[in-house]
Amino acid sequence: MNFDYDLFVIGGGSGGVRAARIAASEYGARVGLAEEYRMGGTCVIRGCVPKKLMVFASNFPAEVAQAQAYGWDAQIGSFDWTAFKTRLEGELARLEGIYRSNLQKAGVTIHDCRATLCGAHDVRLADGQTVSAKHILIATGGRPVVPEKWQGMGAMTSNEVFQMEALPKSLLIVGGGYIASEFACIFNGLGVKTTQFYRGAQILRGFDEEARGHISQEMCDNGVDLRLGTDILEMETRDGQTWVKSTTGHDTTYDAVMFATGRRPNSDGLGLDALGLELGPGGAIPVDRYSQTAIPSIYAVGDVTDRANLTPVAIREGHAFADTVFGGKPHYFDHSLIPTAIFTQPEFGTVGLSEEDARDQGPVDIYCAAFRPMRTAFIGSDQRVMMKLVVCAKTDKVLGCHIVADHSGELIQLAAVAIGMGATKADFDRTLAVHPTISEELVTMRTATRSYGE
């Protein structure tokens, strides 16, 4: 059978673009790609990139305060959101142009419209065309959702936060995951009176408990009004603001409310039901380790599969798909060791097993240190950093590393290399310390803080 394309990709985010480029440029496949909004997906347009730029912006007041304490006649004025937003929009447009240009250079045919499936090998485009492809890759990502009870009441999500015309004076963020916690720190740093509700006992569920508690305390010390065990009971609009009553009995009016309580895969309306493909929880597309669905010609990568919703993961899944299907080099991305950074203030870098997960698997030794770093201790700050290694007591292999400190995202990348290679605690101990740094603690912790036996 003759097809219009060897591969048709639905979605122009990180995973879809990587798969399309590799298939076309390295393996000579005829590739088409459809994107209904802007090239770059969540990460570039409304996620990692604009968020990290906001993190940078929010750090400056604390840095100027430190400069003053060090003796500098440093001053900082008010934050110009409009100027920042204008520059941000220009940067996102530049990055989108690079994504588009790279696809075109690779020989990918771009369709700037929505695409849906109308067969195992057929795609219907919103411009009226129907095209066929030997293989179809769904890479439509995910989206934030507002709980149904509070929809239509003007609350924001992480999608809308970058389009605000002005910074609110007061903001309520609902949620306790990394998105909620990151934005609580960002807006607090930008001078917004920030409150965070989380119904659970501690933020950042699923991560190392000791690190979670450390970050929570530092956030509170930095000025975030973090209220654990708290949720919205009532909410209504009053004179252009939002009145909220909490489950703990407090009621307050905020200039804006943002929900960061979860995301859903963008699988709605793709035509999968008509093809008999049963979706997983929340609309996730079930795939095997090679990203193939139950329909042999259809694959899916990235957040729409709800495996590990991180940009580098989507990129690796897309690359592995192209290598496997078009390069004759079958392999898959191993999701068992994923380093990541949470850009709270302070940052949290983590890779491997948490203390809790590790001790459930066998005997482990925990090496942990929390201390005041030289930079801020010098000016009398009580700010602390945390360094932690989780070590298998039987093999001495380092199973996890957790760092809570400024720039820990940069540090954890290097630790991930060592742990990925199977480094032992003895390997860390043999490594010479770089002094004076906070990271030297990773190679100077000689005595286990605590141990768990079988």
Residues assigned a catalytic role = 435
* Cα-based angle 351, 356, 357 (whole degrees, multiple of 5): 65
CA distance 201 to 112: 45
- Residue with structure tokens 């008999």? 276
How would you classify the pairing of strands 193-198 and 170-174?
A: parallel
- 8 A C-beta contact, residue 136 and residue 299: yes
Helix ranges, 70-132 (H): 81-106
What token pair was written down for 387? Answer: 């360094």
Judge whether 7 and 31 are in contact, CB under 8 Å.
yes
Residues whose CB falls within 8 Å of the CB of residue 295, separated by 6 or more in sequence, listed in order:
120, 275, 276, 277
Helices vs strands, H then E, count in the chain:
12, 22
Contact yes or no for 110/33 (Cβ under 8 A):
yes
- DSSP, residue by residue, 219-279: HHHTT-EEEET--EEEEEEETTEEEEEETTS-EEEESEEEE-S-EEES-TTSSTGGGT---
Assess contact for 257 and 171: CB atoms under 8 A.
yes
- 417 with 411: CB under 8 angstroms? no
Please state at what angle helix 311-326 crosses helix 14-21, rounded to 10 degrees.
Answer: 30
